[in-house]
Structure 1
Amino acid sequence: MNLFSKIFSKNEPKPAVQEKTPLSLEIGDIVTYNMKDFEVTGKITYRDGRHQLFHYLLFDDSEGKILTASMDEEMKLGIFQRVLPAHHQSFPSHIEYENVMYYKAREASARILGYGSYSRLHGILAKVAEYRDAAGKFLLQLETWGTEQKMMIGYPIEPFELKIIAGKK
């Protein structure tokens, strides 16, 4: 390196590269699941005290999915598909959907932090109930945000089933 290049070179610090995990996804990141690439277009963070649950809206050219992620003693992940709107006034102890009985595993209220396509939900208090079938193979979630309610059906997955590519900022 000669004298002029030392004097005129810019010593700009380079941003540190952060490892992407299912708990740190952002809008624009790419998630590969089941040999398909999905873009993260929406993110909801549910906060209930110290516990956080993340919902990521994933889209490819033909379908959308919802990836859920939380960390208790271990990372818990699920892939969900939105189904017809639910019509429950409260969260019953069990729900039958497509001839499968689901039993309530957890119910909570949480404040929503919404980003991207979910930004309209920012600040709303949501109620969430999680249901499991008897074998623990399938999951069902009911959520209410004021007068709006949604139901999702899915199944648990393992972290190794996902590949994450950071989006451009």
Structure 2
Amino acid sequence: MSFLKRLFKGADEKIPETKDRTLLNIRVGDFVTYDLVDYEVTSKIHYNDSGYTWDAYQLAANGKALWLSVELDDEIEVGMYETIRLPGLEPGARKVTYNGCAYYLEEQGKAYVKGEGRSENVHGKNVDYYDYADDSGEHYLSVEVWGGDVEVSYGYEIEEYEVTILAGS
């Protein structure tokens, strides 16, 4: 081996390329900036309802957690959700009231999920889901039933450009 080759050992080796991150390929360990706050992606849940798929990413910063929802229908749809308490909720009810506002059932189904990061515990499970919207169609309630546990999130649509992604690896 020549002196120069030993001196610059590995210089010829290829550096693996980091794929640019988009809303459709975020990974656990990446960082997301939204509304001037930097969040770490701590969890990912991939939903599949008979071939129709979408993803939810848990974002954590300063003791606060948000869920970034991303689905590709005819175009990309992005929403930001925060877990709320809604005592007495009957999943599947046609109308639900939260903070004095009425929300109406728009969609429901059952999805198979794959979980990563903090959501590994739901990997391989099925979830019943119920999606509600207010009259304006700008605010949403997402209700998920995991076995006997009911989880409710309040959310709203955001624009793709409001999110900046930095690959963590």
Alpha-carbon separation, structure 2, partners of 1:135 and 1:89: 22
Q: Distance in 2 between matches of 1:156 and 1:112?
A: 22
Match of 1:14 in 2: 15
What TM-score do you get using the length of structure 1 for normalisation? 0.90
Letter matched to residue 145 of structure 1: W
Structure 1 CA distance for aligned equivalents of residues 45 and 88 of structure 2: 22
| Structure 1 residue 26 corresponds to structure 2 residue 27 | yes
Which residue matches 2:4? 5
Q: Given residue 18 of structure 1, which amino acid in structure 2 is its aligned partner? A: K
* Alpha carbons 1:86, 1:150 under 8 Å: kept: no
Partner in structure 2 of residue 142 of structure 1: 143
Aligned length: 166
Equivalent in the alignment of 1:52: 53
Matches within 5 A, 1:85-164: 87-164=88-165
Contact 2:91 2:130 in 1 (8 A): no
After the TM superposition, which of the residue ranges 7-16 and 141-150 deviates more from structure 2? Answer: 7-16
Unmatched segments (≥5 aa) in structure 2: none
CA-based RMSD: 1.7
Alpha-carbon distance change, 97 to 27 in structure 1, aligned in 2, over 3 angstroms: same
Q: Distance in 1 between matches of 2:111 and 2:13?
A: 41
Find the aligned partners of 1:160 and 1:15 in 2 and give their Cα distance: 27
| Structure 1 letter corresponding to 2:17 | A
TM-score if structure 2 supplies the norm length? 0.90
Counterparts of 1:138 and 1:157, CA distance in 2: 11
Superposition deviation, residue 89 in structure 1? 4.5
Aligned to 2:73: 72
What CA deviation, in whole Å up to 9, does each residue of 1:121-155 have, x standing for no partner? 11110011111111111111000111111000011
Q: Which amino acid aligns with 2:116?
A: Y
Q: Aligned partners of 1:108, 1:147: CA distance in 2, in Å?
A: 16
2:92 maps to a residue whose letter is F
1:51-108 CA-to-partner distances (Å, cap 9, x unmatched) read: 2111111111141111111101111111111001554454112211111111112112
Does the 8 A contact of 2:91 with 2:143 survive in 1?
no
CA distance in 2 between partners of 1:99 and 1:165 (Å):
38
| Segment drifting more, 73-82 vs 41-50 | 41-50
Taking the aligned partners of 1:4 and 1:19, their CA distance within structure 2 comes to 37
